Structures are given as structure tokens and as C-alpha cells.
Amino acid sequence: MLAAILVMALGAVLLGAALGYAAARFRVEGDPLVEKIDAILPQTQCGQCGFAGCKPYARAIAKGEAEINQCPPGGDEGIHKLADLLGRDFKSLSAEHGIEKPKSVAIIDEQACIGCTLCIQACPVDAIVGAAKQMHTVIARQCTGCELCLPPCPVNCISMQPIAESAETWKWKYPAYRINPAPREAA
């Protein structure tokens, strides 16, 4: 009995020492994973995930504090990519964080705008230009469609408009995969 205890104790001490040394020797600084997650997120900075922006959400995912299905603008595709990167299973978008919408940009009705600058302060990517008491305008190219400028506007002059298809953004459609036989022509 004593021998057994001695053997196990010896083993524990030796292995513990080895592990302790390794932990010190191979300490990991920083977390390159956050960058990889952040690269997948759509950078709308909309905060729908419950975090202050895409980067904080990425940090939370890396730490395991957040699920990967909290980003509505990224949609199912974004979740698939995160699942792939992290080796987790796909989950459909969590409803409490919102639904996937067509990509839109904010439009300010310039006749109604009073120039209060509240939307400018709200915009996370500085895509709204204007100064106090001057009309404001959204630079559509830089607008991420986060909708953060909608609530602060005191006169409700901002609306979201879906981006229309143009010659540059037109896409070839998925070829119809014919599962049913082609309708037979009347002879």
C-alpha cells in the first residue's frame, strides 16, 4: 500500500513539475484568433449582437462568451464561415438578435433635416457629413446600413433604402437544377 502511494505521489510530482515548466515555457501571448473572427464579421458595427462593435463581438466569440449566431448582417453565410473556422456546428441565426435583411443604406430627407448632428455622432463609420445647423447627407458608399442613426434623429428624417441592382452589382443566377422533368410539349 505504501509503495503504491509512493509511486503515485512520485509520478504526480514529476509530471506536475514537467507540466508547470511547460506552461511557463510555452506561454501564449495575445490571441490571433480574434483577428480571424473579426475578418469574417461584416463590420457594420451595428451592435445587434449585443456588443459594442464587430471587434468586441469577435473577442467574445474567441473567449467562448458569445455564440456564433448573433450577427444578423452576416447572415447564415457568416455563421457557416465562423462554424468552419472554429470547428463548431452551424446554428441558425438567433431570432432575439434580429433577422437578415437585404443590404440597405441610410437616406436623409434633406428637406426635413434640422441639422442637429445627433446622427453624425451615432454613425460608427463617419459616413454622415454635415455640421451643426447644416443639412446632413449620407455618403452611400461608406454607409454600412447599421441603422444606428435612425433612433437618435428627432425628426425621423432618416430612412433605410435597399440597394438596387445595377450593371456593376448584377449577378448570374444559380442555374435551375431541374428536378422535375421538362414539361413535354404538346405534339
Partner 1 sequence: MTSYLFIVLGAVLVNNVVFVRILGLCPFMGVSKKLETAAGMGAATTFVLTLGCGASFVIDRWLLMPNQLEYLRTLSFIVTIAAIVQLTELVIQKTSPLLHQVLGIYLPLITTNCAVLGIPLLNVSLRHNFLESLLFGFGSAVGFTLALILFAGIRERLEAADVPIHFRGTAIAMITAGLMSLAFMGFAGLDKYK
Partner 2 sequence: MNNSPYLLQPASVQSVMLRVLIALLPGIAAYVWFFGAGILVQIGLASIAALAAEALMLALRGKPLQLFLGDGSALVTAWLIALSFPSIAPWWLTVSATLLAIIVAKHLYGGLGQNPFNPAMVAFALMIVAYPQLMSQWPAAGATDFAMQWQAIFGSRMIDAITMATPLDAVRTALHAAHANTTVAGVLAANPAIGGIGGKGWEWVAAGHLAGGLWLLRQRIITWHMPLAFLAGLCLVAGLFNLIDGARFAAPLFHLFSGGAMLGAFFIVTDPVSGATTPRGKLIFAAGVALLTWIIRSFGAYPDGIAFAVLLMNIAVPLIDMYTQPPVFGHKDGEAR
Partner 3 sequence: MTVLQRLFSFNGGVKPAYNKEASTGLPIAMAPMPAQLVIPLHQSIGGTPRPLVAAGEYVLKGQRIGGADGDVSSAVHASTSGTVVAVEMRLMPHTSGLSARCVVIQPDGREEWIPRQPFDYRGATPEQTRDYLRDAGVVGLGGAVFPSYLKINPGKSGKLDTLVLNGAECEPFITCDDVLMRERAASILKGALIMREMLGAARVLIGIEDNKPQAIAAMEAAARAANEEAGHPAMQVVAVPTRYPAGGAKQLIRVLTGIEVPHGKRSTDYGVQCFNVATAYAIYEAIALGQPLISRIVTVAGNVARARNYEVLFGTPMRDLVDLCDPRPDSDRVIMGGPMMGLLMPADSVPVVKAANCVLVGSPKLFPAPPPEMPCIRCGECAKACPADLQPFELYWFSRARIFGKAQEYHLFDCIECGCCAYVCPSHIPLVDYYRFAKSEIWARETQKEAADVARERYEFRLLREERDKQEKAAKLAARTVAARATAAAALAAAEKPVITAADVAKKALITAALERARAQKAGVRQENTGNLTPGQQAEIAAIEARRAEIREMAKPHLRQDD
- In this structure, the chain runs to a length of 187
- C-beta of residue 73 within 8 angstroms of C-beta of residue 42: yes
Q: Say whether residue 114 binds partner 1 (CB under 8 A).
A: no
User: Which is it for strands 137-138 and 104-108: parallel, antiparallel or unpaired?
Assistant: unpaired
- In terms of phi and psi (left: phi > 0; alpha: psi -120 to 50; beta: otherwise), the region of 59 is alpha
Q: Say whether residue 126 binds partner 3 (CB under 8 A).
A: yes
Alpha-carbon distance 57 to 66, whole Å?
7
Shortest separation between residue 17's beta carbon and partner 3, angstroms = 44
Residue of the chain from 45, 48, 69, 70 that contacts partner 3 (CB under 8 A): 45
Q: Say whether residue 7 binds partner 1 (CB under 8 A).
A: yes
Residue ranges in contact with partner 2 by CB under 8 A: 179-181
What are the residues binding partner 1 (CB under 8 A)?
3-4, 7-8, 11-12, 15, 18-19, 22-23, 26-28, 31-33, 36, 84-88
